Amino acid sequence: MIRFSQVSKRYGATVVLDGLDLDVGQGEFVAVIGRSGTGKSTLLRIVAGLEKPDQGTISSPDAVAVAFQEPRLMPWLTVGANVALGLREKSRATAALAEVGLQDKAEAWPLQLSGGQAQRASLARALTREPQVLLLDEPFGALDALTKLEMQALVGRLWRDHGWTVVMVTHDVDEAVRLADRVIVLGDGQIKLELPVPGRGPRRPDDPDLAGLGQELLKALGVTLA
């Protein structure tokens, strides 16, 4: 579905991606983790068509939707208008808002929404585009712990229902193992570790198998636990 071959990207003297190879299969949920500045977001922006690689090739489908860390709702349009923006059939927006549990917020202004609600609206907008690939760029990074758990469950459910291919960039190791089929650790512009996660997401946050995986990932990230 998505294929990176020998992709390199640099900003000035900084090499962000250095001959990266990556395959993401149809319907697969891949989480990408890594320390700040390891090119996670660049990888995502390349798939979204917002950046061009300096070297290498990438193939990915046209129908891509993105949920960014900031929901990017235009404050001057109502929530419903934001979700429907650019759509021919506006009724799809109503259905999508209902699917994320925001059916009564269509007439609200984005500034009246809580962080979690705004992120739901952003997901609803992604839904209406009927994408093949959904890209998530640290979508829950700014949310409180409880809302975050709810949103993870929502994304997991939507992924199952719609059969999307998902690439999610995150800082959160627990989030990665909870949702993904495969977790990739980026470092020095390449894949440092690839870890399949058994079972199918969304998993329960207190699943005992996840703790071991999480620790392995943290080790690969160079985090030492006391």
Partner 1 sequence: MSSATSVRPPAPTSASSKASSKVSGALLPWLSPVAIVGIWALASNQGWISERTLPAPGAVLAAARDLTADGTLPEALGTSLSRVLLGTVLGVAFGLALGLLSGYSRLGELTVDRPLQMLRAIPFNALLPLFIIAFGVGEPMKVLLIAEGVLIPVYLNTYAGIRNVDVKYIELATVYKFSRRLVAVKILLLGALPSILTGLRFSLAIAWIALVTSETVNTTSGIGFVLVNAQRFVRPDQVVLCIIVYALLGVLTDWLVRLLEKRLLRWRSGFTGR
Residue with the two structure tokens 């229902």: 161
Site string for partner 1, 21-60 (x = CB under 8 A): ---------------------------xxx----------
For partner 1, the binding residue among 10, 56, 68, 174 (CB under 8 A) is 68
Task: Give residue for tokens 């959904």.
Answer: 134
Minimum CB separation of residue 61 from partner 1 in Å reads 13
95 dihedral zone (left: phi>0; alpha: psi -120 to 50; beta)? alpha
Say whether residue 115 binds partner 1 (CB under 8 A).
Answer: no
Q: Look at phi and psi of residue 199 and say left if phi exceeds 0, alpha if psi is from -120 to 50, else beta.
A: left
Q: Binding residue for partner 1 (CB under 8 A) from 20, 33, 66, 93?
A: 66
Q: CB 101 → partner 1: shortest distance, Å?
A: 22
For tokens 């059916």, name the residue.
103
156 sits near partner 1 (criterion: CB under 8 A) = no
> Quick one: tokens of 49?
């068509």
Dihedral angle sign, alpha carbons of residues 36, 150, 120, 24: positive
* Nearest residue (CB) to partner 1, 48 versus 95: 48
- Residue 99: count other Cβ atoms within 10 Å of its Cβ: 19
Binding-site size for partner 1 (CB under 8 A) equals: 20
Residues 81-100 contacting partner 1, CB under 8 A: 85-86
Q: Of the candidates 99, 181, 173, which has an alpha carbon nearest to the alpha carbon of residue 138?
A: 173
The window from 75-83, 145-153, 158-166, 214-222 that contacts partner 1 (CB under 8 A) reads: 75-83
Q: Of these, 110, 156, 201, 202, which contacts partner 1 (CB under 8 A)?
A: 110
Cβ neighbors of 202 (< 8 A, separation 6 or more) are: 152, 153, 155, 156, 157, 178, 179
Three-state DSSP class for 68?
A: coil
Mark the segment that binds partner 1 (CB under 8 A) among 14-22, 68-76, 113-121, 167-175: 68-76
> Per rule CB under 8 A, is residue 162 in the interface with partner 1?
no
Q: Which is nearer to partner 1, 65 or 180 (CB)?
A: 65
